[in-house]
Every structure is written in structure tokens, then in C-alpha cells.
Amino acid sequence: MSKSQNDSNDFFSECKSTTEKFFKEIEKSNPVYHQIATDIQENYLEAWKNVINSSISLQQEFAAKTGQNINMSEDMKKSIENIVDSSITAYQNQNKIAVDSVQASKKVFDVIGENTKIFASLNKNMMDFVDSAMKKYSRD
């Protein structure tokens, strides 16, 4: 093997090594980002729950102190229940769309990975064919 081929191999080995190091470092951060996203979502929900419950309590206290008797008709109660049920359905649909989108994206990345392997194999086979043909014709 010539010196230039050894240098070439060292170059590619170094590229592979540094690329592996780079992606290992990124992979280490994935659990941290996952936990941060989960914590933010939980904090967001808890904050909104507190805002709504505090608002209801404040309005209830105000009504009690001012002597207001707030009674709800059956129609109003049904309307509120319908709004809440519709909101829950919308949230469930939103979650399904999000999950389906993530699953579709995963499939796309899987296909990209498989196609990359197939193209690399095809390119290697073509390179081997060209190398073989060049060697054959250079002997003749």
C-alpha cells in the first residue's frame, strides 16, 4: 500500500471517529431535553389549573361577600358540559394528530436510513465494478 492510501485511510478513520464522538455527545443530551420538555408541559398545565381555580375561588368569594346567589339553569349547565366535552374531544384529536405525525416522521427516518444503506451498497458495487473493469483493461 502506498503512503497516500495510508494517509487517506487515516483521514477517513479520523472523520468516522470524530463523527461518532459528535453523535454520542448529542445522544447523551436527548434524555435531558426529554425531561425538560416533560417538566415544562407539567408546569404549564399546573399553572393554568391554578389560574382557573384561583379565578373561580375569587369569583365565588366575591359573590358570597356581595350576597349574590348564583344559580345555574339546566340549560346553562348542559352548555358548559358540552363546551368541556367538545374541548376534551378537540384535545384528544390534537394528541392523536401529534402522535400520528411523530410515528410518520419516525417511519420516514427509518426509510431514509434504509435507503442510505442501499445506496451505499449500490455505490460500493458500482465502484468495485469500475475498479475491476479498469484493472482488466489496464492489463490488456
67-121 residue pLDDT tens:
998 889 999 999 999 999 999 999 999 999 999 999 999 999 999 999 999 999 9
Give the C-alpha separation, 40 to 46, whole Å.
Answer: 10
In the chain, where are the structural domains located? 1-70, 72-140
Give the C-alpha separation, 38 to 46, whole Å.
Answer: 12
> How much is the pTM?
0.61
Render pLDDT for 98-107 as a digit per residue (tens, 0 to 9): 999 999 999 9
Question: According to DSSP H, which parts of 1-140 are helical?
Answer: 3-65, 74-139
Query: Do 77 and 70 contact (CB within 8 A), yes or no?
Result: no
